[in-house]
Structure 1
Amino acid sequence: MSSSSWPWHFITVSGDDKIRRRELLDLRGSYAQWSVIIVMSVLRVYQAWVTHSAATASSRPRRGPVSWWDRPLVTGWIETRRQYFVCGMWLLWLTSLSIWNSGEDYLHLTKAFAHVALSQVPLQILMSPAAYISTSKPSASSIFSYLTSIPQATVTPYHRLFGRAVIAPLLFAHATLYLLFFVQSEHPDFGILLFKRVRDFDVQCGLLAVSMTILLLLFARPRGVASKGVLGAGSMQERRRLFYYVHVFLVVVLCSAAYCHVAQAQKYMIQALGASLLNGVCSFLMVRWG
């Protein structure tokens, strides 16, 4: 980027600087994941306080009208203003973490967006309702719900919005900045670097991961028996099962592509696999024994 108003530029770094930048990327990922643990701990303490307060109250207050925060952001939408605000603040935190200590290095900032985004994939999976297709308990607790004592019905909207409003924008920022770098960089044989890099396996895996992210945004969950669209007609149970299988397939392809895209993503994708297994076992136990 040659514009003087843009603070990040294409710069050449030495071997020692590359090592330092790699350490900074790993540090960002650690901070992003530890912040998740801190938030979960705070939520657990808060829920314990709420439960204790409700148990010691002499009478339960009557429920009043729905607050402005708990109404949809736009008429017809599912998620509330509160949920958008929470996810927006988390996106702001992760964006700030990506920019932190990036200096003028354009490529370091570009890598930081993806590194921080992928560090959140295990959390996204831990919030998912793994028993979604269950006929008896589709809202059985996820690991996140169990650890924080927050009902899964409250967690699930955050799971949906977290993928759309937090992880996806960071991945899109990473892909866009890298494509701009390829377009603006020359190559002696291909004219511009883009025509060379799209032939490489790692870039193809990255493009596949971004494509899966787009499909996940477009493939929405079923909302009612009478609704039609991508999921077609059929009973709610049939369309829920179809959505679940397609959704999981897209996530698996995305994580596999990210794993093959760059070595630094492999740690988070292995964590995502472990989170998926644990979450599935937790939901199975909840469905089986409550």
Structure 2
Amino acid sequence: MSYLVYEFLARTPELIVQRRIRLDQYANIAQISQLIVHLIILFCNFAASIPVSKLAGKSQKGSVAVLARIARSLYFKLGVNVGRGYGTYGQWIFGLAWTSWLGFLCIAETAPDYLHLTKRFGLIAASQLPMHYLLAMPHPYSPLQLLSKRSYALNMSVHKVTGKIIIAFFAIHISLYSIFFVQIDMFWTSIRHSNIVVALISAAILFTLGVTSTGLFRRRDYWWFYKIHLIGSVLILPLLFFHVNHIRIYLFESAIVLVMNAVLRMFSSQKL
């Protein structure tokens, strides 16, 4: 059975080894890319925060002054709302660019292996979880806030975008696997396996998080949104842990962020 340039390849030791090497390689690239993006945001935020008084004494053609003016102008324009409830221009530009980049990482060097493509979407999505959790840390002791001096609102604007991308990629992963099991006539048999059961529960949690994260739901009942988001984001880590072992490194990183978040919240409340 084939789909476009993809087909179900025979499972051989060589194929499994090569697939695993490529899966880990591209997942690592996806996570490292996150760090690079946030370093760029850090630089732009720093440049935009340079006081005008400091720039006044510098040459108008100086590189620092020019970069600062460009960064400040972009910072303002990207923060403008596209429309009520539709996010900012910055969110849309970042979202489209980041989705395209991660989509490329999901597809590159996968053909004609259908299962490689399927697994790649899931692994790339998992690689984005630690930073996604880190962006949600709200208190002033958040590492991202301390390093970049950027606001919680900016972190959350990125968090909302990455959340949608992660859910979308997991949804593609689930859909492709469902097609695979249907085609080999093992769909009902597969859902009896424990690792598939936890995957289905995780999918239900992701769907719930996606629905309750919409602006409409948040505005109507923020308390429920917050509780569902908090509980769901914690529950999904152990569930995915028992789904497959190749994503556990990213789950451990995410768990560390959650623990760090709890500790820093406690420290922050004691300081107050």
Common fold, TM-score beyond 0.5? yes
Q: Deviations over 1:176-198 (max 9, x none)?
A: 0000001111xxxxxx2101101
Equivalent residue, structure 1, for 2:122 = 114
Q: CA 1:143–1:283 in structure 2 vs 1: closer, same or farther (change >3 Å)?
A: farther
* Partner in structure 1 of residue 193 of structure 2: 200
2:16 maps to 1:18 = yes
Q: Give the CA deviation at 1:289.
A: 4.6
Q: 1:197 to 1:154 in 2, by over 3 A?
A: same
Residue 32 of structure 1: CA displacement? 1.0
CA contact (8 A) 1:221 1:243 kept: no
Task: Indicate the residue corresponding to 2:143 in structure 1.
Answer: 143
Partner-residue secondary structure (3-state), 1:104: coil
Q: How does 1:12-91 map to 2 (within 5 A)?
A: 12-52=10-50, 54=52, 56-58=54-56, 69-73=78-82, 75-77=83-85, 79-91=87-99
What's the counterpart of residue 132 of structure 2? 124
Q: Where in structure 2 are there 5+ consecutive unaligned residues?
A: 58-68
Question: Helix, strand or coil: the match of 1:254?
Answer: helix
Q: Which amino acid is 2:158 matched to?
A: Y
Q: TM-score, normalised by structure 1?
A: 0.79
**Match for 1:257 among 216, 239, 257?**
239
Q: Percent identity?
A: 22
**Are the aligned partners of 1:102 and 1:108 in contact in 2 as well (CA < 8 Å)?**
yes
User: Could you tell me how far 1:261 is from its partner in structure 2?
Assistant: 0.6
Question: 1:196-217, CA deviations, whole angstroms, 9 ceiling, x for partnerless residues?
Answer: 1011111111111111111001
Query: 1:134-156 deviations in whole A, cap 9, x for unaligned?
Result: xxxxxx45332322222111111
Which is richer in helix?
A: 2
Amino acid at match of 2:146: Y
The aligned counterpart of 1:188 is: none
Opposite residue 81 of structure 2, the aligned amino acid is P
Matched ranges for 1:273-288 at <5 A? 273-285=255-267
Assess, with a 3 A threshold, how the Cα gap between structure 1 residues 217 and 23 changes in structure 2: closer, same or farther. Answer: same
> Could you tell me which residue of structure 1 aligns to residue 248 of structure 2?
266
Q: Give the letter aligned to residue 267 of structure 1.
A: I
Q: With structure 2 as the length reference, what TM-score do the two structures score?
A: 0.84
Letter in 1 for 2:123: H
CA contact 2:199–2:240 (8 Å) conserved in 1? yes
State whether residues 141 and 152 of structure 1, in contact with CA within 8 Å, keep that contact through their aligned partners in structure 2. no
**Rounded Cα–Cα distance in structure 1 between residues aligned with 2:53 and 2:201:** 51
Cα shift at 1:85: 1.6
Question: Displacement, 1:103?
Answer: 2.3
In 2, Cα distance between equivalents of 1:33 and 1:83: 19
CA contact (8 A) 1:216 1:250 kept: yes
Residue 10 of structure 2 aligns with an amino acid whose one-letter code is T
- The amino acid across from 1:263 in the alignment is N
